[in-house]
Structures are given as structure tokens and as C-alpha cells.
């Protein structure tokens, strides 16, 4: 009996000192891109993950933000921080809140359709949350978006207008009073328009940004 008790205590000590996984329990999340993203070409990202088998009776939610890597290359720890980083720094909220639908084992898969509008580097931050305050899993992916062969990496009226529309939509989706956020997005887009080389391009760009700022 003494030997059995000693062995049990030793096993308990081993369990106590064993390193813990940085994962969030039995929740997991991953996001991947099937190919190199190119401006103007549709791309279907894939989010996959698991929900704890003991938690399948509850609903959990998926969120995906795109943040310029000039701002950060590390995703914020909490999903609403990710939303704030994307919204206030020229990024976008790709998916605000989509329910994760698991199979009997807790596995789920979510396709996300996107069309890159400008070349550059974006940090994708994906989160699983409980619909309240708890972030239960997160994943990150850096997308290096390539220009099309027919265009240079210089911004065009179309890409700047797309940036403005995306930013304005995020402001109005997330804020009860989005006016200051919209003004900030429009101001940044107008500054980009004024750097275009041709007068015609600048005029077209400024008009498109103005329409984006007034859109609902």
C-alpha cells in the first residue's frame, strides 16, 4: 500500500510540474490561404478549428480582421482589440461575427471569400469567442498581396476608393456614432488621391472617395 501511495504522489507531482500548452483548452483555430493573393483576383481563405467536445451545446463565433503589417505583425490577444486595430489603422474587419458550426467531434470549417484591392502586406487575425467577453482561440496569417502584371504597385483611383469604402463600412458597422471614424478614413484616402500623378486621376479619385464617405 505504501508503494502504491508513493507512486500516486509521484504521478501527481509530475502532473503538477508538467508544462502546460499555450492553446486555449480544447479550442483551436487556424486560417490559411490556398495560393498567393493577387490584386483583383478572388481568393477563398479557409478557417478551421475545434470546439471543446463538452461545450458543443453552446454557440461560439468567428471573427477575422485584416491589419497592415506596418502597424503590427503580432495579432492583439483579444478579438475586440483586433477589431480596433483594423478599424483605426487602414485595415478592415473581414468577418465581424459568424457562428462556428461544428460536427459531432467539434470540428468546423469556414470559407471566407475576399478580393484583394491593393498590393501590400496584411496581417490576418482570426478569433473564436463566446459572444460575450471571452476569446477562446486565435490564429494569424500574413498575406503578401502581389500587384497584377498589368499594373504597377502605385495606387490607382480604384484601389484608393476601395480602401475608403471598406473603411467606411467598418466604421458604420462597429460604431454607434461613426462620424469621426469616417472622417479619418476619408481624410487618409483623399491624401492618397492627391499624390496620384495625373490631374484626371486625382479628380476621379477624390469624387469616388467623397461618394464612399456619403454611402450608407
Q: What total of structural domains would you count in the chain?
A: 2
* pLDDT for position 24: 46
Task: Kindly state whether residues 212 and 121 are assigned to the same domain.
Answer: no
Distance CA(98)–CA(199), nearest Å, equals 43
Distance CA(62)–CA(50), nearest Å, equals 12
Q: Does 15 map to a domain?
A: no
Under a CB-based contact definition with an 8 Å cutoff, are residues 63 and 97 in contact?
yes
Q: Does 86 map to a domain?
A: yes
Distance CA(186)–CA(83), nearest Å, equals 19
- Count of Cβ atoms closer than 10 Å to residue 204 Cβ: 18
Q: Does 143 map to a domain?
A: yes
* pLDDT for position 180: 83
Under a CB-based contact definition with an 8 Å cutoff, are residues 171 and 181 in contact?
yes
The helix (run of H) or strand (run of E) holding residue 102 is none
* pLDDT for position 167: 80
Under a CB-based contact definition with an 8 Å cutoff, are residues 65 and 93 in contact?
yes
Task: Kindly state whether residues 72 and 31 are assigned to the same domain.
Answer: yes
Q: Does 8 map to a domain?
A: no
* pLDDT for position 23: 41
Task: Kindly state whether residues 75 and 107 are assigned to the same domain.
Answer: yes
* pLDDT for position 120: 87
* pLDDT for position 21: 32
Task: Please tell me whether the overall predicted TM-score, pTM, comes out greater than 0.75 for this model.
Answer: no
Instruction: Kindly report, residue by residue over 38-52, the tens digit of the pLDDT.
Output: 888 888 999 999 999
Domain extent at residue 62: 22-150
* pLDDT for position 61: 94
In sequence order, what are the residues at sequence separation of 6 or more whose Cβ sits closer than 8 angstroms to the Cβ of residue 144? 36, 37, 120, 121
* pLDDT for position 148: 76
Domain closes at, from 128, 150, 172: 150
* CATH classification of the domain holding 43: 2.60.40.10
Low pLDDT (below 70) residues in the chain: 1-25, 149-153, 173-176, 216
* pLDDT for position 133: 82
Judged by DSSP in three states, 84 sits in helix
Domain closes at, from 104, 133, 150: 150
Instruction: Kindly report, residue by residue over 164-178, the tens digit of the pLDDT.
Output: 888 888 777 666 677
* pLDDT for position 204: 92
Distance CA(31)–CA(123), nearest Å, equals 11
Amino acid at each position: 500500500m505504501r508503494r502504491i501511495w508513493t507512486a500516486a504522489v509521484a504521478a501527481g507531482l509530475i502532473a503538477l510540474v508538467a508544462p502546460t500548452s499555450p492553446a486555449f483548452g480544447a479550442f483551436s483555430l487556424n486560417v490559411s490561404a490556398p495560393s498567393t493573393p493577387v490584386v483583383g483576383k478572388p481568393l477563398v481563405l479557409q478557417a478551421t478549428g475545434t470546439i471543446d467536445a463538452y461545450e458543443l451545446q453552446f454557440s461560439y463565433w468567428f471573427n477575422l480582421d485584416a491589419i497592415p503589417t506596418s502597424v503590427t505583425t503580432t495579432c492583439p490577444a483579444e478579438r475586440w482589440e483586433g477589431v480596433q486595430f483594423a478599424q483605426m489603422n487602414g485595415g478592415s474587419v473581414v468577418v465581424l461575427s459568424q457562428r462556428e458550426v461544428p460536427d459531432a467531434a467539434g470540428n468546423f470549417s469556414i470559407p471566407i471569400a475576399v478580393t484583394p484591392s491593393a498590393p501590400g502586406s496584411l496581417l490576418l487575425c482570426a478569433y473564436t469567442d463566446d459572444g460575450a467577453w471571452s476569446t477562446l482561440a486565435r490564429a494569424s496569417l500574413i498575406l503578401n498581396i502581389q500587384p497584377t502584371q498589368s499594373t504597377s504597385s502605385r495606387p490607382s483611383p480604384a484601389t484608393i476608393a476601395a480602401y475608403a469604402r471598406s473603411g467606411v463600412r467598418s466604421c458604420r458597422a462597429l460604431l454607434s456614432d461613426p462620424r469621426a471614424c469616417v472622417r479619418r478614413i476619408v481624410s487618409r484616402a483623399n491624401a492618397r488621391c492627391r499624390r496620384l500623378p495625373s490631374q484626371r486621376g486625382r479628380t476621379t479619385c477624390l469624387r469616388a472617395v467623397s461618394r464612399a464617405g456619403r454611402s450608407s
